[in-house]
Structure 1
Amino acid sequence: MSSDRTPLSLTVFLLLAFGLSWLFAAPLWLGDGLDSPLFLPLSLAMMATPAIAALVVVFFVERPEHRARALGLWPLGPAGRLIGYLALAMVVPVVLILAALPVGALLGVYPADFVHLSGFQEQLDSQWEALGDEIPQPPLGLLFVLQLMGVATGAFLNLLPALGEELGWRGWLLPRLYRFGAVPALLVSGVIWGLWHAPLILLGYNYPDAPRWLGLLAMVGMCVVVGMVFGWLRLRSASVWPAALAHGSFNAAAGFSFVFVQAGETVDTVHSTILGWSGWIVPLVLVAVLFATGQFRPAQAEPAQAAERPAA
């Protein structure tokens, strides 16, 4: 892409990504907000808007020779490198989400019960009470193990909607901003990602007990920090797939904050969990280590000719 098309490409991308997200969220604002029965389908539709924006830019504005490569969808190799970063994409987000909880507990902002899982038990009791006495409640330990196992399944189930976001943010946007340097690219793409969530955050999503402006500010902070981790996976793998899988894994593991909470307590997500400032400490340490070891330099993708050559 020639440099003189960069402003046009960025403008079209941002207008489409933000405009479509507000368009899809409009029924929530005009109706029952987060309590609307349309919330799930509309939120999933919103997740597709960055991908729509990126596809429009690549196919109608930039029109590169290899469109899939321009989005990070292809090539799927070298195989060893890609598989390695896909494995990291499954594990790293879960570790960061879990690490945020003891850090929050140590700082006094997350009311934890790591031994008895009393909050988890409280939730299960409420759910089984709603089902009636006909169905016996499984042991707490079994349900906890199933919760852990469900993260892997959830990561792949979330892969397609997560790709709707990552195709835009890390597939297309991050490499375009990288010409301005790694730090500006990561910071600006993270801020854009956070602000894009405004249609839902300003309705109370993720930060229900905070003033709406503070919730949006916290979401921007979280997206900058976590976006750096996703950006590392994108740059070092030369592929959008690890970032998309990491996003899916992140969404699948987000509920652990409710597993380890103390019964009868509420979680202030501005201050605790991966959504709040205390949860950003461990990811920032990881990012600092990655910067110190040069891990934000883009890896080289396979040459187009080699990637497209048929196997002998």
Structure 2
Amino acid sequence: MEHHIGQGRKREGASIAVFIGVSFALAWALTLPLWFGDGLREPFARVLVTAMMFAPTVAALIVVFFIEKPKHKARALGLVPLKPAGRLIGYLAIALILPVLLCILALVVASLLGLYPADFIHFSGYQQITEMQLAEAGIAELPVPIGVLVAVQFVNVLIGALFINIIPALGEEIGWRGWLLPKLLRFGPWPAILLSGVIWGLWHTPVILLGHNYPGTPGWLALIAMVVFSTIMGGIFGWLRLRGGSVWPAALAHSTLNAAATLFIVFVAEDGRFDPLHANITGWSGWIIPATLLVLLVTLGKFTPFAPKPAPVTTESSEHG
């Protein structure tokens, strides 16, 4: 018995090693043209960075179909179950709302700490930026009140979360939270969160060193920041994946975060400048609230897979059993 357990652990360890190796190798291979070119300023940079987001799913598919070969492959990837439907819908709703709240609260905290010049009432910076863009297009003034444009930005976040970012986000989440996180849970909640977060953060190395998320920040410091950010937000995504029963809530949360992280442009003050290392959801001040939430979730025992209650055994079913 112990021999079989040991063999299973070795096979699982090999699967994780292959998954990590393929994910990292594909990420570097896809972004290598940017390193030999003009970095993130290359016209095709967005295409390559988006393609990179599918590397974890490719790695997970290789492991599941060619190494592990489980009977229920969709379950191994976190694609199912999709029931109970009410629970799934509830966690999808959380996944759509929570990242937006965390992004806005991150700006509030940064503003209170003097790290983000905010205008939450008149949106003066957003109006200034919009007027400059319209002037370049030959339009003299705003066609509608600034409040309407702010509302449009929130609609854009919703559209981006549901229709634009969701597929690339799923490309990452099938690998990181769909397949990898459940494998690491045997070490306990915190080790699983830390290990998956560090791996996810380091996987971003080829684009972080090119200035993604933290432009102007020394590469080593930007990478540390990305690892911490990935660990905290990856923990939140992991909670949604485990309690929601499948990878879909985590994918939607990831998609929503990518869309909502740009809301800083809406609330910035006129002529306002800030450092993304210190402010916004990517900065250390933006980690305070999600980190507190994550600690609370783990402390309350919520970082565990959802286990549906078994159906009650009726007299009729027991007679036929």
Is TM (by shorter chain) over 0.5? Answer: yes
Cα contact 1:236–1:296 (8 A) shared by 2: yes
List per-residue Cα deviations over 1:69-100 (Å, max 9, x = no partner). 00110121111111111110001111111100
The farther-off stretch of 134-143 and 122-131 is: 134-143
Does residue 1:73 correspond to 2:79, yes or no?
yes
Counterpart of 1:124 (choices 126, 130, 145) is: 130
Cα contact 2:92–2:252 (8 A) shared by 1: yes
User: What residue in structure 1 maps to residue 94 of structure 2?
Assistant: 88
% of aligned pairs identical? 53
CA–CA separation in structure 2 for the residues paired with 1:291 and 1:258? 33
Counterpart of 2:265 (choices 250, 255, 258) is: 258
User: What residue in structure 1 maps to residue 152 of structure 2?
Assistant: 146
User: What residue in structure 2 maps to residue 280 of structure 1?
Assistant: 287
Moved over 3 A (4+): 134-137
Report the RMSD for the aligned CA atoms in angstroms: 1.6
Deviation at 1:209, TM superposition (A): 2.0
- Length, aligned pairs only: 303
Cα contact 2:82–2:245 (8 A) shared by 1: no
What amino acid does structure 1 have at the position aligned with 2:100? V
CA–CA separation in structure 2 for the residues paired with 1:72 and 1:280? 27
What TM-score do the two structures reach when normalised by structure 1? 0.94
Cα contact 1:171–1:234 (8 A) shared by 2: yes
Counterpart of 2:60 (choices 42, 54, 65) is: 54
Deviation at 1:3, TM superposition (A): 2.0
Cα contact 2:55–2:172 (8 A) shared by 1: yes
Cα contact 1:76–1:239 (8 A) shared by 2: yes
User: What residue in structure 2 maps to residue 227 of structure 1?
Assistant: 234
Residue segments in structure 2 that go unaligned for 5+ positions in a row: 1-6, 311-321
Deviation at 1:4, TM superposition (A): 2.3
CA–CA separation in structure 1 for the residues paired with 2:70 and 2:147? 53
Deviation at 1:292, TM superposition (A): 2.5
Does residue 1:241 correspond to 2:254, yes or no?
no
Counterpart of 1:196 (choices 179, 189, 203) is: 203
- Partner secondary structure for residue 232 of structure 1: helix
CA–CA separation in structure 1 for the residues paired with 2:242 and 2:200? 17
Residue segments in structure 1 that go unaligned for 5+ positions in a row: 304-312
Deviation at 1:156, TM superposition (A): 1.1
Does residue 1:30 correspond to 2:36, yes or no?
yes
- Partner secondary structure for residue 263 of structure 1: coil
Deviation at 1:25, TM superposition (A): 0.4
The farther-off stretch of 214-223 and 110-119 is: 110-119
Cα contact 2:161–2:252 (8 A) shared by 1: yes
Cα contact 1:78–1:302 (8 A) shared by 2: no
Does residue 1:17 correspond to 2:23, yes or no?
yes
Deviation at 1:15, TM superposition (A): 0.8
Deviation at 1:24, TM superposition (A): 0.5
Does residue 1:164 correspond to 2:153, yes or no?
no
Structure 1 pair 120/135, CA: closer, same or farther in 2 (3 Å)? Answer: closer
The farther-off stretch of 97-106 and 255-264 is: 255-264
CA–CA separation in structure 1 for the residues paired with 2:309 and 2:156? 34
Cα contact 1:118–1:261 (8 A) shared by 2: yes
Deviation at 1:302, TM superposition (A): 8.9
User: What residue in structure 1 maps to residue 181 of structure 2?
Assistant: 174
User: What residue in structure 1 maps to residue 315 of structure 2?
Assistant: none
What TM-score do the two structures reach when normalised by structure 2? 0.91
Does residue 1:296 correspond to 2:303, yes or no?
yes
- Partner secondary structure for residue 2 of structure 1: helix
CA–CA separation in structure 1 for the residues paired with 2:38 and 2:262? 24
